[in-house]
Amino acid sequence: MFDRFCTRRKWFLAIVAGALGTFTAGQAAYGQGTWTTLANVSPSATEGMTVGGIGQVIVGAYGFSPSPMPGNTNQTLLYNINTNLWSTGAAAPMPVRAGAASGETTHGGFLYVIGGENSTGVLSDLQRYDPGLDAWITLTPTPTATARAGAAAAVIDDGIFVIGGRQSTGGPCSGGPYLTTVEKYDIDTNTWSTVAPLLNARSDLAAVAHGGKIFVFGGCTGTASAPSFTGEVDMYDPQTNTWTTLPFPMTTPRASLVAGHSGDKVYTIGGTNGSSPLNVNEVYDIPSGTWSTNTATMTTARQEAGVSSHGGKIYVVGGSTASFGASTVANEVFKP
């Protein structure tokens, strides 16, 4: 058994070390940068996955899928950037879920899945996936993290910061309580600690770590029938344990978006404004603190997608093309 695991890990590390392959796919260009359509999410359309890149492999875990029966899942999907092919990994630990902390939850060759929601309520558990061994384990840190869905996450050094979220279970912007809670998971010690809270409670926001700081974008508050969407941009400094609201919000207020990064720029992509899914792609220049909308819009408008930044490109995986439950197989990459 151990020899088989070692062989699989050697195969995975070979993929990590491999050069990026080439393949034929459709491209569309609007303004600056280009979008390329990649192989459809397989075996089925999925939204609300936890998505993260490890080497040349993008992992998509859990999420809601309409087939073979509509509902939350514990699936593990693996996309190989080199070959433009999908495969299936070991089933993730129960219970099924969607809407776990999204953004950046990979560290040291592992993908971490934090919280989420299902028909029983919001969750606080912590799962870790090793793609080299194709193996999951359930971690038991102390104290227990806050149960929530629709949170954002970012990694600085050996800490995963989980930011905001909600304690409702009807999908994005489905009502509160909305949270200001920010917690740090220390990977080395397997412990949670509470850090300074968000200045304004919200869920279904996006986060990116850059230069030792965390930037969070957008989100929603309000009721399920009348949600309120924000373009707010905040920055967290772990050295001083303080949050600052930055002077220039996103041009398009929205939630359930993704944020990818390339160099000193953050691209806030897709999401919803409450009436429809969006294909907007706005770029935030961190050094100048300014926004530009002269950027190629995403080919498939959607919310509840996953994101992975790799090799100067931004991969946007799955999501929903209408209201919660209208999952898509879209898998597209943006090259600035």
Partners of 216 in beta bridges = 207, 234
The domains found in the chain, sorted by start residue, are 2-18+28-335 (2.120.10.80)
Amino acid at residue number 45: A
Distance separating alpha carbons of residues 330 and 39, to the nearest angstrom: 8
Amino acid at residue number 266: V
Distance separating alpha carbons of residues 164 and 321, to the nearest angstrom: 24
Flag whether pLDDT at 233 surpasses 50: yes
Distance separating alpha carbons of residues 253 and 229, to the nearest angstrom: 6
Distance separating alpha carbons of residues 301 and 316, to the nearest angstrom: 11
Flag whether pLDDT at 1 surpasses 60: no
Which pLDDT tens digit goes with each residue over 74-91? 999 999 999 999 999 999
In the numeric block, the tokens 């994101």 are attached to 307
Give me the DSSP letters along 66-79.
-SSSSEEB--EEEE
Partners of 228 in beta bridges = 221
In the numeric block, the tokens 């304004």 are attached to 200
Between the CA of residue 262 and those of 86, 266, 312, what are the distances in Å?
Answer: 24, 7, 5
Q: Are 251 and 215 in contact (CB under 8 A)?
A: no
Indicate the SS3 state at residue 5. Answer: helix
How sure is the predictor about 296, in pLDDT bands with cuts at 50, 70 and 90?
very high
DSSP 8-state secondary structure symbol assigned to residue 98: B
Indicate the SS3 state at residue 8. Answer: helix
**pLDDT for res 11:** 43
Q: Are 256 and 149 in contact (CB under 8 A)?
A: no
Say how many CA atoms lie within 13 Å of 109 toward its Cβ: 13
DSSP 8-state secondary structure symbol assigned to residue 20: P
Angle, CA 199 vertex, CA 107 and CA 271 arms, to 5° = 60
What percent of the chain is predicted at pLDDT more than 90? 84
Q: Are 335 and 312 in contact (CB under 8 A)?
A: yes
Distance separating alpha carbons of residues 108 and 112, to the nearest angstrom: 10
Flag whether pLDDT at 23 surpasses 90: no
Q: Are 275 and 248 in contact (CB under 8 A)?
A: no
How sure is the predictor about 14, in pLDDT bands with cuts at 50, 70 and 90?
very low
**pLDDT for res 24:** 32
Which pLDDT tens digit goes with each residue over 217-230? 999 998 888 899 99
Residue 192 neighbours by CB under 8 Å, 6+ apart: 141, 142, 143, 144, 145, 183, 184, 185, 186
Which helix (DSSP H) or strand (DSSP E) does residue 4 occupy? helix 2-17
